[in-house]
Chains A and B, each alone.
Chain A
Amino acid sequence: MEKKTLSLIVVLLMMSACSTMKDMSNTVKDSLFTYEKVKPWQKGDLAKEDMQLVDDGMLNYADEHIYFSKEAATGGKGVGGGGCGCN
């Protein structure tokens, strides 16, 4: 029985094809997480240098370029992507 439920969940997850957050419906998101949308003019703290994951601009650029060139088929970072049809 448990196996059946588990496999059902797996199948359902596979049916959703893209399992990233952005593809969830808003109602699902809202029920799972409580969050406040940060306005574009409220990003002062996020813009601080010590808030950056990689604080070296050039290094970050190289990192993202390599990542994107490897992961482009799955959508890589940000927009675009291919195959699954949900971007």
Chain B
Amino acid sequence: MRSQSFLFLPLFLFLIYSGNSLAAKAPPFTLNGDNGSISLKQFRGKVVYLDFWASWCVPCRKSFPWMNAMQAKYKSKGLVVLGINLDDNKKAATAFLKQVPGKFTMAYDPEGDTPGKYHVEVMPTSYLIDRSGNIVYSHRGFKKSQSAEMESKISELLRKK
């Protein structure tokens, strides 16, 4: 039994580290936004915090004030917070946003094509995309206790030109 678990150790380590840093090109997309279409391309040169959310997802709700704060704090340094709503009915999203305002760029994907491309496994999932369009970090779920760590990752990435 002991030797068996020893065999799994490298696998676990691989899973832990591969989850944290996957330097891959962020899959492109074009979606409807609040004013016209939104595509990832248009944010090239900026750091993008891409967040997949839905109105029924409780931790998503909790993440909104933090994302608003991040957008306000780092906008001048080149951060774009981009929320992709995944409700199949946009009305649900609109009702949610009335309660919990999202002061950042919003896009709507009722068909749910984009999360498939990004291999979203839990709600919410967020991706940190660098200025040249690479996913450098992904995060599952939202916990207030982890948000400081994410903020330091964002500011670190913003410092890189």
Contacts and interface: CB of A to CB of B under 8 A. Distances in A.
Interface of A: 39-44, 47-48, 85
A42 B115 CA distance: 11
Contacts of A48: 56
A64 B48 CA distance: 39
A43 B52 CA distance: 13
Prevailing SS type, chain B contact patch? loop
A44 B57 CA distance: 8
23 contacts: A39-B112, A39-B116, A40-B115, A40-B120, A40-B121, A40-B123, A41-B52, A41-B54, A41-B86, A41-B112, A41-B115, A41-B120, A41-B123, A43-B56, A43-B123, A44-B56, A44-B87, A44-B88, A44-B92, A47-B56, A47-B57, A48-B56, A85-B1
Contacts, number: 29
B122 interface: yes
Nearest to A45: B56
A39 B88 CA distance: 12
Interface residues on B, range: 10 to 19
Contacts of B116: 39
A48 B55 CA distance: 11
Contacts of B115: 39-41
B122 A40 contact: yes
Q: Which of A39, A43, A44, A48 has the most CB of B within 10 A?
A: A44
Interface string B75-99: 0000000000011100010000000
B54 A44 contact: yes
Contacts of B122: 40
A31 B58 CA distance: 36
A23 to B, nearest CB: 17
Nearest to B4: A85
Nearest to A44: B56
Nearest to B58: A47
Contacts of A42: 88, 112
A77 to B, nearest CB: 18
A47 B56 CA distance: 6
Contacts of A44: 54-56, 87-88, 92
